[in-house]
Amino acid sequence: MRNVSEEIIEQYKKQNKPIKLNVACGQTRMEGFIGIDKVKTEATDIVQDLEAYPWPFEDNSVDEILCSHYVEHVRDLIRFVDEIHRIMKQGAKATIIAPYYANMRSVQDPTHVRSICEATFLYFNKGWRDTNKLDHYNIKSDFDFTYGYQVSPEWTNRSEEARVFAMRYYWNVINDIHVILTKR
């Protein structure tokens, strides 16, 4: 007997649709994305504890991942990122959105277990780990990544010079970091 995730994936394959996951979807349904979360909501297509591995997806089967405001809750970020790496196709992209470490929102929620910054994702690039003699870390994933920011509204209309200075030296200027991981 097939499970729900197998049936959903099979439907997408029959319709020749890309497999796109909204990981930790909560109550947010995204058009064209399969919602996966540990809690059943109207947006959840697949109920899955996201810290129980492996997830019910084949290796190299997912075309795109969106994960908004969840990685700061994950107890074992290495296993989580290794799992998205396992299920993603080569060249696939995962967009990760999280509260920025220099914003009070990153620490205000008592369920957050970590803060996220640009350097967090260096560890998930094999070349960087090798160069920095960190190949003893038990990390399997290998991603290239880019990032950007969601700046607090009161800073969006300031001059570029003022905004860059504030982003570097002040707290609460950047609300969220947006990271795009690309599977190598």
Number of other residues whose CB lies within 10 A of the CB of residue 141: 22
Contact 149, 167 (CB under 8 A): yes
Note the pLDDT tens digit of each residue in 60-118. 999 999 999 999 999 999 999 999 999 999 999 999 999 999 999 999 999 999 999 99
CB hemisphere CA count around 131 (13 angstroms): 7
Whether residue 54 has a cis bond before it, omega within 30° of 0: yes
Q: Using CA atoms, how far apart are residues 34 and 138, in angstroms rounded to an integer?
A: 29
CA distances from 101 to 27, 132, 171 (A): 25, 23, 9
What does pTM read for this prediction?
A: 0.94
